[in-house]
Each structure stands twice: as C-alpha cells, then as structure tokens.
Structure 1
Amino acid sequence: MLKFSYPSLDLNQNSIRLLRVNKGVWPSDVYCSLVEATTDPDEAVPYKALSYTWGAVEGKKGQLLSLPRIFVNNRVFPATDNLRMALSHIQDPNHDIMLWADAIYINQQDNREKGHQVKQMAQIYKNAEEVLIWLGPSNEEIRDLLEFATSVDQQAIGILIPRRSGQWASHCHDLMRNHYKDAKTPQNITALRQLLSRHWFKRIWVLQEVAMARSARILCGSSSCPARTFSLMPSFFKIPTTEHSQAVLDLMPRIRSNTWWASDRTLHNLLVKFRHSQATDKRDLIYALLSMSEDAYDSTRFYPSYEIKDSQVRMNTMFFLIFGRTHVPRAWQPRIPPEDLGLPLASLITNFFRQILENGGEPVNQVCDGFIQRLMRIELNEVQILHCLSTFLGIALMSIDLLHNWFIKRRPKLLEARFRDGCSELQHRTKDKPERIFTLIFEQEKVARRFRKMEFPILDRFENIENLSLPKDLDRHDRRVGFDSFEHFATH
C-alpha cells in the first residue's frame, strides 16, 4: 500500500480540507476521501467538526485494542488510536458524513500550511453544523449517565420557550431537582468523574472549539448527549471541577452567555485564566486563545506562525499586551519566562521595564513613548500601571496617596513622553484651566547603574506644576523618605 501524501492546498485563499467519511459501521475499517472547501460562509458546504485529543485511547488501560484502519484517498492514514476509534464510531451506516478534524486535514509537517489553517480554526468551528466532542470509549455507567442527560434535555426543550435560551441552565436545574432526585446514584457520579478526568478537559484548543460551536454533542463510544445539558451535570451531582474543566463547561452552547465568557476577555485575562492548560506545542498555549480574545482576535495584527520559535512567540505576546502590536525591534530582547505571561499585567510591565531600563540607551525612549501612546488611547489602566511602576521604583507608600488622592480624582486627559538630558518623563497633562501637569521623571543613567548593582532603582521625583496636597503623614520640609527627592512646585 502506497504511503499517504497530502494534495496541495491553496494558501492564498481561505481553503481547508474536509473529510468525506463513507457510510459504515463499527468495527469495520473507515474509508474516507479529502475534499477541498472554503471557510467563506457564502460558499461553505455543510459539515461537522471533531473535537478530540491526540494520542492513546483513554478508559482502556491495560487492554489490547484491535482498532479499525483509516483509509484516506485509498491509502492508509497513520492516525492515532483515539482518532481511529472516534472515526469508526462517528461513521453512519446509512449515509456519508462530511467532517473536519485537524490531524487529518492539516499537514502537520508543513509549518506554513499549519499556520494558515490554525488561523482559520475559529471560523471552521463556527461554520460547522455541529461540533462532535469525542471523550473516548463508554461503559454501562457512562451510557446511563448520557441517557439521563439526554432525557433532561428533551424535557427542557419541550417546556422552555426557544427565545428564552438565557434561562436554559436555571430551567434544567429546576427540572432535575424536582423530577430527577433518584438520578443521584453512585454509578452516575462515578461515570461523571471518569469523564471529567479525561484529557480532553485539559487541552487548550478545546476552549476555542467549544466557544465557537453553534451546537455541540458529547460522544462516548456509541452513546451521546447534548453538550449544553452535560455541562450542568457537575453542579447537579455536586462534583467539584478544576478551574479549567469548569471554564470549558461554561463555554457550551446555550450556557456561555451567562458565564465568564460574557466578561472582559482580553488576551491577558485569558492567559491568566488558562495558564495551567496543556498543549503539545507550547506556542499553542497562546495561539489557541487569540480568536477568543476581544483585543487579539484580528488576525492581521496577531496571528499563529509556526515558523518562529517559542521564545519569540512569548516576546511577541508580551509586546502585544503592553503596546498593542507584535513587532519587536531587535534592540529590545527581553527574556520572557513562560510563567511571566500569567502574571498580573502591572507586574508583567514592571518586568519588561526592568530589563529595558537595565540596558539603557535609545530603546528606553522608544519604549516609554510607545507605552505612553497606549495609555493615551485608554488601552491600559493607567492608575494601576503607574502605581506598579512607582512601587517598582521604590516609592510605594508615596505613590498610593499621590495616585489615589490626586490622579484618580482629576483623571488627566492628555499624556505625553519627553526625553531630555538623559531623562525619560512620563507626563500627564489635564485639559483643566488652569492646566495641571503630573510628571514621573526617570534618570536613565542612575537607573541603569542601580540595576547593575542589583539594587532597586528609584523614581527621582514627582513634579506637579501646581499646588499638590501631600500625604498628611509627610513633613512638607522633609524631602528624603526612602528615595532621592520629592519636589513640589507651584505655578507663578
């Protein structure tokens, strides 16, 4: 039998490959053929998308498996055991199925094609008629649990008015509480725990696959149930879930509008929330979140590329979080540990500034300028960031009073950066009359020198060109309280 090879794909278009799965029944071999299609909604053909995990079959530990073979375009395809089992159960005895699954449709050895396809994955799952969530083989307890979930779903649909889908969760909970008290059996609880422990609930990519789904279905062996009702089972059975598992359950169709999905989904918030997720390729821990975010979803600004190293992807990501773009000048080469991207944004910015200021030179001016421009566009929380920088520069107690007693109340409208005599100024100017100015002045040479000595640098002075009330516990004539100087000026 000839070795399988991929037909070429037009990477200049929104092209994808779909799999036509010929009709058949378990456990016969699965025969398929690749079909080129598009993600353009006006030209897309109906299909279903598969959400699964690569690797071995779960739930069959220690058992010898005799799995069907997968033939694609009349050639044996080297699919993993879990994918082979999934396809053999998905095939229909009466008609062919159009399906999408990444391991078959993306040439994993071609990084350019991989980036092109990953860039479209959100649209692929969004266009799918249904997302099939394969959790592996079944057993008697799992079959009973999924039958219970299906029964609840059917009754809920028969009662709930379709347009009131926002009440789906509360309605199903009432239904289970009032009519299914006997369902809380040890067998159902054990089955649910088994499913929640499967690797699918730890994968980073499932977040996007579920979040984009119009409709989704849980598959275990030959049993299935609607995902929207399955997602409510842990709370009904009072089974604790991990943060990641619950976040996935909260993304199911008809559920997500009343969960964390409806809150602030910036890329940074997603990185923090899913910092413990798993991915074979570490770059996917970032790429899988782009289309879900509210600030990085634009593929023209930040898009998956498997032609660059993991360290460069982290650097691009940090630069995007701070400056809103991914182009990193060569002069700026901060070292970004993977765990740093899960830090609070203010701490992330502090670490970035620490490395840039340590090196000194023109990059300091460029960084400050870009930073201020983003503050001007109100894309960062200026109070939080300035407070963090002041803390980092050794005047934490002072900055709390200054920022909260003066800065927040007056809300400066204009910001600008100035560079003079080896200093970098972050200046905040109001539109009030008389005009108020609040300036943070960094002396670059002093900052760099203190970094080399492994000491905390200091902010040389707060400068407000107008009468600024000082903290009550600070003697107006004492200018040395753990930092070089605090200067207070009045306009004349």
Structure 2
Amino acid sequence: MALTASPKVFKYHSLVQADSFRLLLLLPSPSHDSDLHCHVLYTTLSQCDRDIIDQYTALSYVWGDPSNTGSIYVDGALVTITATLDAALRDLRDASRVHRVWADALCIDQSNLTERASQVGLMAQIYSIAHHTIIHLGPLTSEAETVLRAAPSNTSGTVAYSRDLVDVAEQHMLQAVWFTRVWVFQELVLSRDPWVQCGNLRARWTDLCRMLLPSAWKQNSKELQVLADMNSNRGPTRLKFLTLLTSRRGLGATDPRDMIYANMGIASDLSSLLRYVQVDYRKTCDEVYESVARYLLENIGPGGPTVFFPHATSSELSKQKDLASWAPDWSLPASNLVEMYKDNNARKLHLDSKAHYAFVGQPLTLAWVGYEGDVIESFSEQLPDPASLNNKERIAYQAAITKLKGMYSNIWWSGDESGQHQHVDLRGKEEEHEKLCRVLNHEWLQILGKELPGPQAKSSKEDMKIEENFLGCFGKWVADRAPQQLIMAGSGSEGMASLMYTHLLPQHIPSALTGRRFAATKAGRVSVVPRNVQVGDLVVQLAGPLNALVLRRDPRPRNACSAREIKTALRKLNEDDSIQPSLRAEAMARIDEMAIKNCTLVGECYVDGFVGWKLKENYDCDIYALR
C-alpha cells in the first residue's frame, strides 16, 4: 500500500525583538483565480522604516463571516482564511512582481494571546510606516466603478463636483461594512497614504473625499457624515480617549475588548490611559471595561462624575452579564438621551468627588459616600420622542401656553442663603392663571393616561397597579401645583415645569424626557428617572457635583472582607493633603459609623424640589458599595 504524505502544517516562529513583525511576500500570478501563495518575512518596524526600496502595503479590510472561507499557501502549507481576506489578496496580487503586504489575520499568530496583545500595541506604527494602506471594501460593482473612475487619481485632471456621483457613492459604496467596524478608524487615521479599493480598481482616499465632500455637502446624510468625521481626524490633532469611545461606541467588533484596544493607539491621553489599561487578551471583557471606567472617572476632568455617569446608560441591556453597573458597555450603542436637567440656582456645598469614593477589591467595587433622598414608589410608561405626539395639534394646550407666557413678562429674582428664587407678580390674575395651569395639567393626564400604552397593555396585574398608582399621584401633584403661582411656561420656567413645557413645544427640539419615565416618590415628589427603574429603587445623592442617582439594592452576597477594605480605603482619603478640607463632607470623619449598602447603578434622575447637599444641613450618610 502506498503511503500518503501528511499535509504540511504552517507554524509561526517567535517574534524576538520589541518591534518585530511579519510581512507576507505575496507571490505574483497573471490569473486572478489561481491559488494564492506567499512566504512569510520576519523583520522589524525599524528596518522597514529605513528601507527606501522594498516597502510594504498595509491592508485594511473586514474579517467577515468566519464560516465563509478561502485559502492561501503560506510557505507551502495550506492555510484557511476568511473569504474577505482571500478576495482582498487576490485583488492586491500583482501579475509579475512580489508584493509585500501586512494583513493582521496572517501576520499575527491569533492563537498566541501574548503576541496578539504585543502586535496590537504596534499597529499604530505598522500603519504609519506602511508606504500605502489599501482599504478593501469588497468586489467591484458598477456603482463603485463609477465613483472610483471619476476620482482624480484615475483621471487626467480634476473632476468637478457632481451631485449624481455623490448620490451613487452614498447609496452604494459608502454603505460598505468597512465603515461600521471599530478597528478601521485607527488604520485610516494613522495611514500615510490610504487608498480605497473595490475589486482591482482603487483611488486615493484624499481624492475621494475632495470629490464627495465639497463645502456644500448635505449635512443630513449619515453616510457622508461618517466619511467627513473619519477624514477630519486624519490631521495631526489627536482626540481624547473618551471622545473616541463616545463617537465610535457600538461599532462592529468581533471581540468586544477591541472597542477599547482599537481606540487606544490614537488617543491623545494614551500615556495616562496606559497606567490603567494595557492591551491584554488574557483579561476578560468585564475587567477591561471596568479598568477603562476607573480611568475615565478619575481622569475625566473637573466635571468628573457628571460627565461620566451618563455613559453608563445604554439603549440596550449589556451582553456582559458580570460587568459592573457603573462601567459603560462600549460595545453597545449610546442611549442618545438628552443630558439630564440640573437645578442651577440653589446654593450647595462644594464637594470634591475624589474625596468621597474609592475602588476596592476584585472584582472592582466602587464605594461612594452619600445619602438616601427618597424612594421610588410608582412610575409611568416610557415617554416618547415629542415628534410622535403631534404637539401642534394640541390647540387648547398651546393657546394656554401662549396666554401664560404673556403673564410672565415681569419675572424678578431674589436670593437668600438657600439660593436664588424667581418670582412673578400675578396680582389680580390668580384665578385666570390657575385655570390655564389646569389646562396644561389636563393635557399631560391625557397623554399619560390615554395616549401612551396604558395599564391594559401591561403584562401583569402588578404592572397595571404601578401605572394606576402613578397616575393617581401625578394627578394629585399637578392639582396641588395649579394654585401655587409657579412659572409654568417659557424660558423662565424651572424644574419639572420647564421639562414638561419643552417636551410639548410645537417645534420639535430634543427633550430630556424622551426615553425616560416619570416617577412618584415616597415623599410625594414627581421625578424623571431611567426607563429601567423599579419600585423600591433609591434616590441617592452621592458626594460631589453630581445629579441625583437611582440606585437599586443588590441582594447578591459580597466578600466579607470587602467591608474592611472599603472603610480602610475611604479613611485614607481623609489623609490626602491634596484635597482641601472645605471640599470634604463632614461625614467623612465618621466613616467607621456608616452602614455599607450594596447597590447597583440604574442611572441619573431629576427629582422636582430635591436639592442635594444644601448648605447648613446635616446628612445621615452611608457608604454605597456599587457593583
């Protein structure tokens, strides 16, 4: 019996030097359909940077469906690759010359987590040293050919702006998956000379942008906006890490950790970030995201928590089931909620957030001193975007608003130790004012009780009861406010009055109520809360310049030693001489007496009439241990 030779297996050799990397020597073929062959060249970035003859091309592409495969012979061994890489290499292959190419799937040993992390750390240099970068969008369609052939790099001169050409690009080429993937931003921004290629036809990135993004390009085009944003970041100015994460969150990444790693190399604050996060594929996604959250909270600037906490709210539930509630899941799209309303007139204690919280233990717990302000007892349906409410057709309501605004022409201010206060003189108009306020109240009761999905749409009797309880509380609350001579409309309105007025404006503007709920509290206040609120959730004011937060009691068992760790860490904050004593709450001297309450973060809230950390108030503080 004849013996059959075992197929040759490709094996990676180790990368020895700090800047070692691999290149593919893509062998030529006059036939597009012939088998792909290459050799692997072991070299260094410093050698390639000095080499003015044998330069390499970096490939930027989308990995695609791993079950849809192609193949290439690497040093004689058959290696399976994704179909997208197979197509890109065929389109790059020259008919007669060897082509030096860097492609991550082959040039990095993906099974070696240590090497993978090291090479990801070099990717900024890999793309910046490459003589060219080829952005491979896929096969050449007739529409892509129309756009690419019109680019100056494929013509003898400058091409005039064409609306038809832009429409073709917008509807076809710019719809490519490449524009939605997280890694490609770094690859583009750092590339010396990027080219866009479909099939075997290519054009310079800069030429395409000049052609498709003239000064008059239509601002409402999502595709052109993405192109413009990517192009604008190719300059020498680098963005901060939070800005990069915010603008790119929710984009495609096979590994959710790459939402972090793909943005690190182009962040202006990379040196600070590296003290908290390093590229390491041995760490879980939870560990990476929590380390990033710690970095952002401690380095975001004076606004600190006020800027940070809104990012922890997403439009979807996190897929990372063990991720801390205070750590944003950057693999999910942003919630797109309007910034929560803030009262700016009350005088408050000025407290430094950093004097009142500490990260302890593994997994990380965020321990923060604060006090409980109220408890959620019932809540409404989620409030829709104002555009769906047909506000222009609310004739009686809009007429009442117009009359009320006419009454508020003589607003005046006063101030005392608790803050500034607005007043309006309604002498002789009290009855008319109250009547108009009742028109406003009736409209809101109609919206909440009849226009939104009501209790009949609820999935359980408990849900129905929660909604009914809220409508009763809300009806009493608005009825009590009607005779109080509050400013209920216009730019002088404040708090809930301002939020409700803005939401029902006939001209649609972004509203802080959209995507949130109204809630009634134990103290009889009406509040604006996250959509995933539950009965029994706490309204808590943590120390610092924060909005009130909704927290949820966490019944999960915690490590017994964590209580000691938490109090030890918080006591050390009292020894920090860099924090002015006046910016530290008096309660910090009583750390040992405080109870530790295990909670999770639900999100920011606004409670009408509730002012945190008022002057000359004594607060019964606790430590909120957040996971």
TM-score range normalised by the length of the shorter chain? 0.5 to 0.7
> Residue type matched to 1:38 in 2?
T
Contact 1:53 1:82 in 2 (8 A): yes
Structure 2 equivalent of residue 170 of structure 1: none
- Measured after TM superposition, the shift of residue 92 of structure 1 is 0.9
Letter in 2 for 1:339: D
Q: Secondary structure of 1:37's partner?
A: strand
2-structure distance, mates of 1:18, 1:56: 24
Pairing of 1:370-385 with structure 2 (within 5 A): none
Contact 2:70-2:81 within 8 A present in 1 as well: no
Kindly state the Cα deviation for residue 242 of structure 1 after the two structures are TM-superposed.
Answer: 3.5
Residue identity in the other structure for 1:391: L
Aligned counterpart, 1:28: 34
**Residue 37 of structure 1: aligned partner:** 43
**C-alpha separation between the residues in 2 aligned to 1:84 and 1:130?**
19
CA distance in 1, matches of 2:114, 2:361: 37
- Contact 2:189–2:234 at 8 Å: present in 1 too? no
Report the 3-state secondary structure (helix = DSSP H, G, I; strand = E; otherwise coil) of the residue aligned with 1:109: coil
Q: CA deviation at 1:227?
A: 0.6
Equivalent position of 2:266 in the other structure: 292
- Which of 37, 47, 59 is 1:50 aligned to? 59
* Larger RCO (CA within 8 A; separation ≥ 6): 2
Give the counterpart letter for 1:203 in structure 2.
R
1:276 aligns with 2:276: no
Partner of 2:403: none
Q: Distance in 2 between matches of 1:321 and 1:207?
A: 21
Separation of aligned partners in 1, 2:600 and 2:56 = 62
Letter in 2 for 1:24: S
Q: Which one has a bigger Cα radius of gyration?
A: 2
Q: Which has the higher helix share?
A: 1
Q: What is the distance in 2 between the residues matched to 1:96 and 1:479?
A: 78
Deviation of 1:389 (Å): 2.1
Does the alignment pair 1:209 with 2:203? no
- The SS at the match of 2:151 is helix
Q: What aligned pairs does 1:215-294 form with structure 2 within 5 A after superposition?
A: 215-236=193-214, 238=218, 240-242=220-222, 246-247=225-226, 249-252=228-231, 256=233, 262=237, 265-294=239-268
The partner residue of 2:13 within 5, 8, 11 is 8
Deviation at 1:193, TM superposition (A): 2.0
Aligned mate of 1:81, from 67, 80, 83: 83
Q: What SS does the corresponding residue of 1:231 show, helix, strand or coil?
A: helix
Cα distance change on mapping 1:50 and 1:152 into 2, 3 Å: closer
CA distance in structure 2 between the partners assigned to 1:272 and 1:93 by the alignment: 44
1:184 to 2:163 alignment: yes
1:479 matches 2:488: no
Residue-by-residue CA offset, 1:264-305 (whole Å, 9 max, x unaligned):
x22122111211211000000000011110112579644311
Quick one: which of 250, 259, 284 aligns to 1:309?
284
- Counterparts of 2:111 and 2:192 in 1: how far apart (Å)? 31
1:444-463 matches, within 5 Å, as 444=591, 448-449=595-596
* Aligned counterpart, 1:18: 23
1:110 aligns with 2:112: yes
CA distance, structure 1, for counterparts of residue 572 and residue 148 of structure 2: 68
Q: CA deviation at 1:420?
A: 9.6
CA deviation map 1:212-260 (0-9, x unaligned): 10101000012111111223454346485448x74565444xx5466xx
The percent identity for this pair of structures is 23
| Counterpart AA for 2:137 | L
Partner of 2:404: none
Compared with structure 1, are the counterparts of its residues 350 and 300 closer, same or farther at alpha carbon in structure 2 (3 Å cutoff)? Answer: closer
Q: Secondary structure at the match of 1:23?
A: coil
Q: Compared with structure 1, are the counterparts of its residues 234 and 43 closer, same or farther at alpha carbon in structure 2 (3 Å cutoff)? A: closer
Offset, 1:441 = 3.6
CA distance in 1 between partners of 2:600 and 2:38 (Å): 65
The separation in 2 between residues aligned to 1:339 and 1:363, in whole angstroms, is 16
* Partner AA of 1:10 in structure 2: L
Residue 132 of structure 1 aligns with an amino acid whose one-letter code is I
User: 1:136: Cα distance to partner?
Assistant: 0.3
Paired residue type of 1:39: L
Gaps of 5+ in 1: 58-64, 157-175, 326-332, 366-385, 395-417, 431-435, 457-472, 486-492
TM-score (ref. length: structure 2): 0.50
2: CA distance between counterparts of 1:392 and 1:251?
Answer: 33
Relative to structure 2, which stretch is displaced further, 421-430 or 123-132?
A: 421-430
Q: In structure 1, give the amino acid aligned to 2:36.
A: V
Q: Which runs of 5+ in 2 are unaligned?
A: 1-5, 301-322, 341-351, 369-540, 550-567, 604-610, 622-627
Match of 1:391 in 2: 546
Asked if structure 2 preserves the Cα contact closer than 8 Å seen for 1:204 and 1:277, the reply is: yes
Query: Post-superposition shift, 1:28?
Result: 2.0
Could you tell me whether the CA contact under 8 Å between 1:145 and 1:192 is conserved in 2? no
Cα distance change of structure 1 residues 83 and 5 upon mapping to structure 2, 3 Å threshold: same
Contact 2:25–2:98 (Cα < 8 Å) also in 1: yes
Aligned length: 369
- 1:94 deviates by 2.5
Alpha-carbon separation, structure 1, partners of 2:245 and 2:106: 28
Cα distance in structure 1, aligned partners of 2:600 and 2:116: 46
Change (3 A) 1:209 1:388: farther
SS at match of 2:90: helix
Normalized per residue, which structure has more strand? Answer: 2
CA distance in 1 between counterparts of 2:600 and 2:11 reads: 57
> How far does residue 27 in structure 1 lie from its aligned partner after superposition?
2.2
In the alignment, residue 13 of structure 1 is paired with which amino acid? A
C-alpha change, 1:315 and 1:105, in structure 2 (3 Å) is: same
Contact (CA 8 Å) 1:122, 1:291: kept in 2 or not?
yes
The match for 1:463 is none
Cα 1:454–1:134 change in 2 (3 A) is closer
Q: How far apart in 2 are the matches of 1:205 and 1:120?
A: 13
User: Which residue number in structure 1 is paired with residue 129 of structure 2?
Assistant: 127
Q: Report 1:60-71 matches (<5 A).
A: 69-71=71-73
Give me the whole-angstrom Cα distance separating, in 2, the residues matched to 1:122 and 1:428: 36
Q: Decide whether aligned partners of structure 1 residues 142 and 290 sit closer, same or farther in structure 2, where only a CA change above 3 A counts.
A: same
